[in-house]
Structure 1
């Protein structure tokens, strides 16, 4: 982000309030992510398994873009931006879904 005046604020952030989740294979879970930004955001979810780099799951933005990585079928992994949150919903859990999930924010660059 480039700011050309004192009115610019670098206050973009995400907050994940969901702690450890225990669920049974076949269940559904929702992982929470809220965000704060002054700009049009793109929200991205990642999955990180032990001793591996984070894997891109999906991204959503406020203009309706929906993109899922091929290995994360949108029938099982979905998210919708709702006001200032973008919860990740995982359906029909598999044992292999066990991992740490991260929400990230990319705010559109603007001149202030």
Structure 2
């Protein structure tokens, strides 16, 4: 019986979106929660938007260095996220009907 100690599996990275469904009106501001746990020193967090029958669309990225960017169609004045130690809540301001979608938070 050979033991292979070279393969190390760390199941420590976790991403949670505790809010569930969020109901709001046009013009409102909503914040979608995303909490994460990681053993990595530097984290890269992403938000994606998926519309019905669509694929997840890249919205924005934030990282531990305090840098990040927004995709052209998701301008910072309406879509912003601030990366804290364990969370990266997505704030959507001045809600449009077209913002109705499923939003995914991802950790790299």
The two structures have a TM-score, normalised by structure 2, of 0.89
Tell me what 2:23 maps to: 22
Partner of 2:63: 61
Structure 1 residues without counterparts, runs of 5 or longer = 107-112
Partner of 1:52: 54
Query: Gapped runs of 5+ residues in structure 2?
Result: 1-5
Runs of 4+ in structure 1 over 6 Å off? none
Counterpart secondary structure, 2:98: helix
Quote how far apart the aligned CAs of 1:26 are.
Answer: 0.5
Q: In structure 1, how many angstroms separate the alpha carbons of the residues matched to 2:103 and 2:7?
A: 36
Root mean square deviation of aligned Cα: 1.6
- The structure with the larger Rg is 2
Structure 1 Cα separation of the partners of residues 25 and 82 of structure 2: 24
Task: Quote how far apart the aligned CAs of 1:10 are.
Answer: 3.1
Separation (CA, whole Å) in 2 of partners of 1:105 and 1:66: 13
SS in 1 for 2:45: strand
Please report how far the alpha carbon of residue 5 of structure 1 lies from its aligned counterpart in structure 2 after TM superposition.
Answer: 7.6
